[in-house]
């Protein structure tokens, strides 16, 4: 009797979730899954709703991240080595966003249309750290 009740309970859960196919321990749900909501968005595969809690992606070191076999484009993890979200862009892992520990670092050079000056913007971890404007006195009509 206990087995029959457990089976009916599990069958009911599966019907609520949608069409389910299993194999090798995998659970595949066709439709939307709502966490914290009974009406998940029809445009989302997973809809997480909360005003008191956040979404926690998988957390791993850089070495563990790099050991993921054939990561899918768009895969998201929290890198505990760098304390930054990482996403896979289809060819490499990149840091998401700027601020401490993530974002572009380098120099961006901007040349004016009249070639009279070059503006160099220094960037560290996605934040502007300096701007230098260098006039070009050797270009006509700007200088001698």
Question: CATH number, domain at 77?
Answer: 2.10.10.30
Total-model pTM: 0.50
Task: Please check the confidence at residue 132 and state whether its pLDDT lies above 80.
Answer: no
Structural domain contains residue 60: yes
Q: Which domain holds residue 115?
A: 106-135
Three-state DSSP at 94 gives strand
More confident residue, 133 or 113: 133
Residues 89 and 65 in one domain: yes
In this predicted model, what pLDDT tens digit does every residue of 48-66 receive, in sequence order? 888 888 888 999 999 999 9
pLDDT for 15: 46
Task: Please check the confidence at residue 26 and state whether its pLDDT lies above 50.
Answer: yes
Percent of the chain, pLDDT > 70?
61
In this predicted model, what pLDDT tens digit does every residue of 78-110 receive, in sequence order? 999 988 888 888 888 988 864 455 566 777 777
* Residue 115 contacts residue 135 (beta carbons within 8 Å): no
Cβ count within 10 A of residue 65: 21
Which ranges of 36-86 does DSSP label H, i.e. alpha helix? 62-66
pLDDT for 67: 96
pLDDT for 138: 61
Structural domain contains residue 75: yes
Structural domain contains residue 59: yes
User: Which structure tokens are listed for 2?
Assistant: 């206990």
């Amino acid at each position: 009797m206990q087995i029959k009740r457990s089976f009916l309970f599990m069958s009911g859960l599966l019907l609520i979730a949608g069409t389910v196919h299993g194999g090798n321990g995998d659970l595949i749900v066709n439709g939307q899954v709502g966490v914290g909501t009974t009406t998940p968005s029809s445009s989302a595969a997973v809809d997480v709703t909360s005003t008191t809690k956040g979404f926690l992606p998988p957390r791993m070191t850089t070495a563990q991240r790099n050991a993921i076999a054939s990561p899918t484009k768009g895969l998201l993890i929290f890198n505990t080595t760098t304390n930054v979200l990482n996403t896979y862009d289809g060819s490499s892992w990149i840091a998401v966003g700027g601020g401490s520990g993530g974002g572009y670092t380098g120099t961006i050079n901007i040349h004016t249309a009249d070639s009279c000056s070059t503006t160099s913007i220094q960037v560290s971890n996605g934040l502007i750290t300096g701007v230098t404007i260098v006039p070009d006195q050797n270009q006509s009509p700007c200088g001698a």
